[in-house]
């Protein structure tokens, strides 16, 4: 028997056992490192990469470096994960709200703050549209929006309707901006001026009298203002003035 060979074999076995032990410890450490917070963090990373339409639990697991079934220990379904993400956005909005002034100033501040936070979290406007206000922070956010108009001479139905209108205005404004960007990417045109040039070519195919107003606005560059702060403020002002008129009529 070659003792040298036997020693080599035994050393190899021990090395393999040590490596196996290290692998197990690495896997255990990775399992311990994964938490609900890490799943949420990775979910935002994935949304930034692929958007909401291509989001999947399998891709999320790959990004974290775990098996797909492990995700379901934290969230039983993709919808429940989305609910938690929407709740996280609602929490951040509330943390950045600082009520001051009369009810109009407060609602204006709430809407602007909400828009700012939606721009921090990718696809968050879509998330809030695709989820229900069932989570704790989401419900508190709705209550926060309702508080400024609670003393006003309005019915509860009117109060809820008006606040939902304000929130949906913010969401739709951000959704519109997101979809405009996606369409531009989809047709391979990222320059706003090229998009306007495309539209102007279409005007040449239509009798002038049928598009005279919209043509004038296009040539004056007004469509370049879609999605701007100025346009957002203009629409928000219309909403708040409308609520004010309802309050006056109810007084």
Q: Which has the closest alpha carbon to 114: 41, 170, 66?
A: 170
Share of residues in the chain with pLDDT > 70 (%): 82
**CATH number given to 84-190+221-251:** 1.10.357.10
Q: Is the pLDDT of residue 183 over 70?
A: yes
Reported pTM: 0.80
Average pLDDT, the chain: 86
Name the residue ranges covered by the structural domains of the chain: 84-190+221-251
Long-range contacts of 224-230 (CB under 8 A, 24+ apart): 224/192, 224/196, 226/176, 226/177, 226/180, 227/173, 227/176, 227/177, 227/180
Q: What is the mean pLDDT of residues 133-160?
A: 96
Cα separation, 57 vs 74, whole angstroms: 12
Tell me the pLDDT tens digit for each residue of 74-90: 999 999 999 999 999 99
Q: Is 188 left (phi over 0), alpha (psi -120 to 50) or beta?
A: left
Task: Give the distance from CA 18 to its chain's centroid.
Answer: 46
Q: What is the pLDDT of residue 7?
A: 59
Tokens of 178: 């997101």
Quick check: 163 and 146 in contact, CB under 8 A?
yes
DSSP character string of 120-149: TSTTHHHHHHSS-S-SHHHHHHHHHHHGGG
**HSE-CB of 140 using CA atoms within 13 angstroms:** 14
Cα separation, 236 vs 200, whole angstroms: 30
Q: Is the pLDDT of residue 211 over 90?
A: no
Q: What is the pLDDT of residue 215?
A: 84
Cα separation, 240 vs 107, whole angstroms: 8
Q: What is the pLDDT of residue 191?
A: 64
Cα separation, 124 vs 86, whole angstroms: 7
Q: Is the pLDDT of residue 29 over 60?
A: no
């Amino acid at each position: 028997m070659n003792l040298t060979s036997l020693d080599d074999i035994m050393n190899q076995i021990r090395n393999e056992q040590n490596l196996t032990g290290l692998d197990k410890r690495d896997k255990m450490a990775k399992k311990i490192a994964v938490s609900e917070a890490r799943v949420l963090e990775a979910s935002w990373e994935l949304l930034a990469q692929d958007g909401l339409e291509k989001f999947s639990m399998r891709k999320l697991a790959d990004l974290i470096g775990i098996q797909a079934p492990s995700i379901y220990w934290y969230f039983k379904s993709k919808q429940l994960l989305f609910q938690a993400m929407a709740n996280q956005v609602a929490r951040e909005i509330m943390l950045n709200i600082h009520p001051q002034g009369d009810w109009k100033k407060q609602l204006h501040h709430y809407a602007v703050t909400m828009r700012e936070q939606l721009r921090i979290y990718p696809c968050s406007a879509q998330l809030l549209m695709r989820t229900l206000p069932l989570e704790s922070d989401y419900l508190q956010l709705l209550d926060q929006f309702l508080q400024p108009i609670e003393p006003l001479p309005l019915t509860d139905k009117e109060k809820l309707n008006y606040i939902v209108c304000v929130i949906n205005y913010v969401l739709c404004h951000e959704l519109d901006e997101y979809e405009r960007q996606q369409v531009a990417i989809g047709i391979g045109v990222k320059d706003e001026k090229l998009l306007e040039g495309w539209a102007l070519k279409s005007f040449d195919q239509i009798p002038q009298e049928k598009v005279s107003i919209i043509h004038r606005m296009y040539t004056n560059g007004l469509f370049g203002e879609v999605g701007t702060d100025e346009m957002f403020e203009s629409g928000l002002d219309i909403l708040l003035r409308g609520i004010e008129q309802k309050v006056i009529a109810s007084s």
